[in-house]
A and B are shown apart, each in its own frame.
Chain A
């Protein structure tokens, strides 16, 4: 089990108040937007804030964010590549 992926699932549920969802409901390979979790543009902004809040990573370019937020797996990869060596998640 990928610990970061599981942590991200919980953080996404909390950040977006997905009351009816559990971490098990989220397929880490599924698209976050559109057909996947059905998130919208406000949710995308909320995820940007969440990543900065928990991992200290600022996403300032649209295309980078688009790729990072493709799925939970891609988001986990993005965080691993960009966070500080000592910047463990909360």
Chain B
């Protein structure tokens, strides 16, 4: 088993992508972020993405992956997305559009699978390694991180981008609920060879009692730990829910040249 490290992380939350017209909690609404606030690199399609894809793509952009040129692929880099709601937000919009004059929106239809977010990320960064989408309740993002670390540790891939993302549009009365966390997991030995320092070395293990504090969302906790540099402290640990307590709803394998088709089920 190889030792894995997190070398980069990114986070976007609903403070950025608010719908200014419908979010009434703040006077004047929340400013709507645009792609150029995340990156100097052009991305003409960003405005056309659905909310889930926008958040996931933006968080991954924060990993600052080395640019890859057209025609150059990354077969040794995997993608994992964990999402509680998946494409539900777009699913609802699509169903509603079926009753509008002119019929259902083709654009919305193309985003009625959560794995579309993986496709958008893969296209943008020329990633051709295995990918999977895990829907397993509120801690799906954490499960994606855990699974990604396992892929790297077992030598299936050289690295893995693990994304935890959920996005639900605002209704007239509610604030939008959305967040995306992205982590770049790598083989520690390879990172050392390249002269890069790991951002964190964490002990990820099931909580002793098999439970986690649901008020401390683990990905947010992890991101704060990494952002503060706390991940390098001896004994830093992140407790995971025991796999048996997870209720996996759906595991979608996008592509898998290594022959693994399983997500973690429990």
Instruction: List residues of B whose CB falls within 8 A of some A CB.
Output: 34-35, 44, 46-48, 100-107, 110
A45 and B44 within 8 A (CB): no
User: Which of A28-36, A47-55, A61-69, A71-79 binds B?
Assistant: A47-55
Q: List 10 A-B contacts (CB under 8 A).
A: A18-B47, A19-B34, A19-B35, A19-B46, A38-B44, A43-B107, A45-B107, A50-B102, A52-B101, A53-B100
| With A16-B48, A20-B44: A52-B107 Cβ-Cβ less than 8 Å | no
A16 and B107 within 8 A (CB): yes
Q: Taking the nearest CB of chain A, how far is it from the CB of B162, in angstroms?
A: 28
A52 and B44 within 8 A (CB): no
Question: CB-nearest residue of chain A relative to B104?
Answer: A49
Q: Taking the nearest CB of chain A, how far is it from the CB of B226, in angstroms?
A: 31
Question: CB-nearest residue of chain A relative to B103?
Answer: A49
User: How far is B101's CA from A53's CA once the two chains are assembled, in angstroms?
Assistant: 5
A20 and B106 within 8 A (CB): no
- Residues of A close to B105: CB separation below 8 A: 46, 49
- Residues of A close to B34: CB separation below 8 A: 19-20
Q: Taking the nearest CB of chain A, how far is it from the CB of B214, in angstroms?
A: 35
Chain A's interface size range is 10 to 19
A86 close to chain B: CB less than 8 A: no
User: How far is B100's CA from A53's CA once the two chains are assembled, in angstroms?
Assistant: 8
- Residues of B close to A42: CB separation below 8 A: 106-107, 110
Q: Taking the nearest CB of chain A, how far is it from the CB of B9, in angstroms?
A: 26
- Residues of A close to B106: CB separation below 8 A: 42, 45-46, 49
- Residues of B close to A43: CB separation below 8 A: 107
A17 close to chain B: CB less than 8 A: yes
- Residues of A close to B35: CB separation below 8 A: 19-20
Q: Taking the nearest CB of chain A, how far is it from the CB of B10, in angstroms?
A: 21
- Residues of B close to A49: CB separation below 8 A: 102-106
User: How far is B171's CA from A38's CA once the two chains are assembled, in angstroms?
Assistant: 32
